[in-house]
Structure 1
Amino acid sequence: MRLLIGYEDYPLDPLRALLPGWEVFQSSPAGFAEMADGMDVVTPIAAKVDANLLGKATFGFVQQFGVGLETVDVAAATEAGVWVANLPGDVTGNADAVAEQAILLTLALGRQLDAARQTLRERKWAQPAGRSLSGSTVAIIGLGAIGLATAKRLAGFGVRQLAVRARAELGGPPEVAKVVGVDRLAEVLAEADVVISALTFGEHNRNFFDANAFAAMKPGALFVNVARGGLVDEAALLAALDSGHIAGAGLDVLAVEPADPADPLVNHPRVIATPHVGGVTQQVLFNSMVALTDNVKRYAAGEPLLWTVNQPSQVAQRRPQG
């Protein structure tokens, strides 16, 4: 059996140890389609799995390394008889790790970490004056696994928590004082001192945080995005930062990744940006490798798969190859 990982810097030895007898390959996202033909299972990471590739390649299973499937045409995979699965954040620990990153960015923005490090280098003392989380209002936009994990961690900071979710009728955990639907987004944004984006991304909510959303935020609010860069109209965010309406932004994700080092948003003096490392911890990587290989073994053995997002009515008979 053959597995292709769509990331050229991924460490393959741990996967090979967990998949004895398998051939494990890797490619860059750009070279993924060329190498995918002849594989049994593919793990795209950031590579595209589109209808064209699905129509000509031999693989029968797309097992993503993580939650995001925005680069996978799930409908085309279903039509082609190809299974698609991801790794839920509550299985791998990704949700907890990304929630920690959200807290890290929130604290770093509020306490002006970059400015404080600079004043230390300038031999200044007791400045700048940051802001404490205690007593503030924090809005979590999206109450999936990451949003819930973030709410749990915020509870110890003495904040008032609000949340927006697509299905407001599901409510939220006891830590969250108010949960409303997307139709009341502007109302929540206007109350919050900190806005944390934890939405699941799709074409339906591209540029969810647009100029209107930033204008609706309280003057001087902080904005943190640990979900996906496509959720943010980055030109609108840059304008809101330049005007001072948004006091700072913490971004672990950007619309184009890897980010251009010359990107004015990345280099903005009131932005703290990190290179999509929220879920990149030793624990998450290990848990993800174990979960991924367990599901891949299920596929090879013809057993029911876990965490599938589709249900092909007719599975392609040439897959797996053996």
Structure 2
Amino acid sequence: MSGDVNPPAGKAMRVLLSDVAAARHGARIRDAVPDVDLVPVAPDGALPDAAGIEVAFVTRDLFVGGTRHRLNPRFVRFTGLLQAAPALRWVQTFSAGTDMAVYQAMLARGLVLTNSTGASAPAVAQTAVTGLLALARQFPRIAAAQARQAWEPLYAEPEPREVEGQAALILGTGPIGQEIGRLCRAFGLRTLGIRRDAAAGPPPGFDAVAGFAALPDLLPGTDWLILACPLTETTRDLIDADLLARLPPGRHLINVSRGGVVVEADLLAALRSGHLAGAFLDVFGMEPLPPENPFWGLPNVIVSPHSAAASDGLPERVAAIFCDNLRRFRHGEPLRNLARPVA
């Protein structure tokens, strides 16, 4: 799929979007393409006529309150309308990842699907490195002492290790991985990236890169294993007991990618045994994380409710990507950030 599109000239494009997005971004969208007919979808009431809708803009407000396993009724209502839009050809989504079943079904239907790769990179990278620093500075230990109203300075063993000079192995060298690498280097860490095409060399933020086949041999020299890759057939269940065992004792894992990249039972065992000193986990195999899940109670784990991308600046960055693509769509040019089927 090339992303080349050739919409009919001389008629207004019908663009389906939420009522929130229409109010927030409508002026910006019309500045980008004046001859556009915005079709807002409210959370309830009658649905608009789907006839002639060529473009859909899926924004985060439709998804808030749900998860990939428990979809928000607004999201279901909106994407259900897309299924009834016979003229629909292109869907732009707010997320970077498009591995959810609803998006994969769109690709299987033959729709052009574009994501918002890069829009969430600043917030996700800041979250990942905040998690790294919180674990490095033993904040879980401080929080546990605070809950007991206990004054326990960190000068007692084990004292925090200096992060300067430590090695961060980052799976995924896209915009998020690059920003994580840049921030890690600012704190004096060495950064090595894992990417599909190692021959392409290191992108910004990395001292060096290697391919996935080299991962087992690189783990013994790793202090921080940071997951920032998409969920694909290559990465699904990639981090298992064997790879975790190759990390030296006392190392850490950061996951801001997808829960399915890790075999959670193996990760749980490594954390319980103490082989892994700790983990910052923003994503899980099942979300919301069930109350009975043992990750909640581990003192060496920081559980984050899939919020790494949360930022009040994210909607505007997503809208900028959509508006650029909308101009491209109008002029029959290739679109940015084409999504692919999870092979």
Question: Is TM (by shorter chain) over 0.5?
Answer: yes
In the alignment, the residues of structure 2 paired with residue 173 and residue 304 of structure 1 have an alpha-carbon distance, to the nearest angstrom, of: 26
Preserved contact between residue 115 and residue 339 of structure 2 (Cα < 8 Å): no
Matched AA of 1:3: L
Question: Alignment partner for residue 179 of structure 1, among 200, 209, 222?
Answer: 209
Does residue 269 of structure 2 align to residue 243 of structure 1? Answer: no
- Indicate the residue corresponding to 2:260 in structure 1: 230
Question: Shift of the alpha carbon at 1:100?
Answer: 1.2
Structure 1 residues 288 and 167: CA distance shift in structure 2, 3 A? same
In the alignment, the residues of structure 2 paired with residue 310 and residue 114 of structure 1 have an alpha-carbon distance, to the nearest angstrom, of: 38
Does residue 154 of structure 2 align to residue 124 of structure 1? Answer: no
Question: Shift of the alpha carbon at 1:211?
Answer: 1.6
Equivalent residue runs for 1:280-291 within 5 Å: 280-291=310-321
Structure 1 residues 35 and 205: CA distance shift in structure 2, 3 A? farther
Report the 3-state secondary structure (helix = DSSP H, G, I; strand = E; otherwise coil) of the residue aligned with 2:234: helix
In the alignment, the residues of structure 2 paired with residue 196 and residue 310 of structure 1 have an alpha-carbon distance, to the nearest angstrom, of: 23
Does residue 52 of structure 2 align to residue 41 of structure 1? Answer: no
Report the 3-state secondary structure (helix = DSSP H, G, I; strand = E; otherwise coil) of the residue aligned with 2:229: coil
Identity of aligned residues (%): 31
Question: Shift of the alpha carbon at 1:18?
Answer: 4.0
Does residue 24 of structure 2 align to residue 14 of structure 1? Answer: yes
TM-score by length of 2: 0.74
- Indicate the residue corresponding to 2:40 in structure 1: 24
Matched AA of 2:132: T
Matched AA of 2:122: D
Question: Shift of the alpha carbon at 1:82?
Answer: 2.1
Structure 1 residues 201 and 53: CA distance shift in structure 2, 3 A? farther
In the alignment, the residues of structure 1 paired with residue 323 and residue 186 of structure 2 have an alpha-carbon distance, to the nearest angstrom, of: 36
Could you report, residue by residue, the CA deviation over 1:115-140 in whole angstroms, capped at 9, with x for unpaired residues? 21332452414236323212322211
Question: Shift of the alpha carbon at 1:174?
Answer: 7.5
Question: Shift of the alpha carbon at 1:105?
Answer: 0.4
- Indicate the residue corresponding to 2:115 in structure 1: 86
In the alignment, the residues of structure 2 paired with residue 259 and residue 35 of structure 1 have an alpha-carbon distance, to the nearest angstrom, of: 35
TM-score by length of 1: 0.78
Report the 3-state secondary structure (helix = DSSP H, G, I; strand = E; otherwise coil) of the residue aligned with 1:22: strand
In the alignment, the residues of structure 1 paired with residue 323 and residue 84 of structure 2 have an alpha-carbon distance, to the nearest angstrom, of: 25
Gaps of 5+ in 2: 1-13, 31-36
Does residue 92 of structure 2 align to residue 63 of structure 1? Answer: yes
- Indicate the residue corresponding to 1:193 in structure 2: 223
Report the 3-state secondary structure (helix = DSSP H, G, I; strand = E; otherwise coil) of the residue aligned with 1:150: helix
Preserved contact between residue 88 and residue 307 of structure 1 (Cα < 8 Å): no
Matched AA of 1:241: L
Structure 1 residues 183 and 297: CA distance shift in structure 2, 3 A? closer
Gaps of 5+ in 1: 29-33, 312-322
In the alignment, the residues of structure 2 paired with residue 278 and residue 78 of structure 1 have an alpha-carbon distance, to the nearest angstrom, of: 26
- Indicate the residue corresponding to 1:3 in structure 2: 16
How many pairs were matched up? 297
Equivalent residue runs for 1:64-213 within 5 Å: 64-71=93-100, 77=106, 80-89=109-118, 92=119, 94-120=120-146, 122-127=149-154, 129-173=159-203, 176-213=206-243
In the alignment, the residues of structure 2 paired with residue 212 and residue 53 of structure 1 have an alpha-carbon distance, to the nearest angstrom, of: 45
Does residue 330 of structure 2 align to residue 306 of structure 1? Answer: no
In the alignment, the residues of structure 1 paired with residue 49 and residue 228 of structure 2 have an alpha-carbon distance, to the nearest angstrom, of: 32
In the alignment, the residues of structure 1 paired with residue 109 and residue 304 of structure 2 have an alpha-carbon distance, to the nearest angstrom, of: 37
Question: Shift of the alpha carbon at 1:65?
Answer: 0.7
In the alignment, the residues of structure 2 paired with residue 263 and residue 36 of structure 1 have an alpha-carbon distance, to the nearest angstrom, of: 44
Could you report, residue by residue, the CA deviation over 1:197-230 in whole angstroms, capped at 9, with x for unpaired residues? 1112223321111122212211111000111111
Does residue 215 of structure 2 align to residue 215 of structure 1? Answer: no
Question: Shift of the alpha carbon at 1:294?
Answer: 4.6
Structure 1 residues 238 and 298: CA distance shift in structure 2, 3 A? same
Report the 3-state secondary structure (helix = DSSP H, G, I; strand = E; otherwise coil) of the residue aligned with 1:227: coil
Preserved contact between residue 55 and residue 80 of structure 1 (Cα < 8 Å): no
Report the 3-state secondary structure (helix = DSSP H, G, I; strand = E; otherwise coil) of the residue aligned with 1:265: helix
**Cα RMSD (Å) of the superposition?**
3.4
Preserved contact between residue 116 and residue 337 of structure 2 (Cα < 8 Å): no
Equivalent residue runs for 1:262-301 within 5 Å: 262-296=292-326, 299=329, 301=330
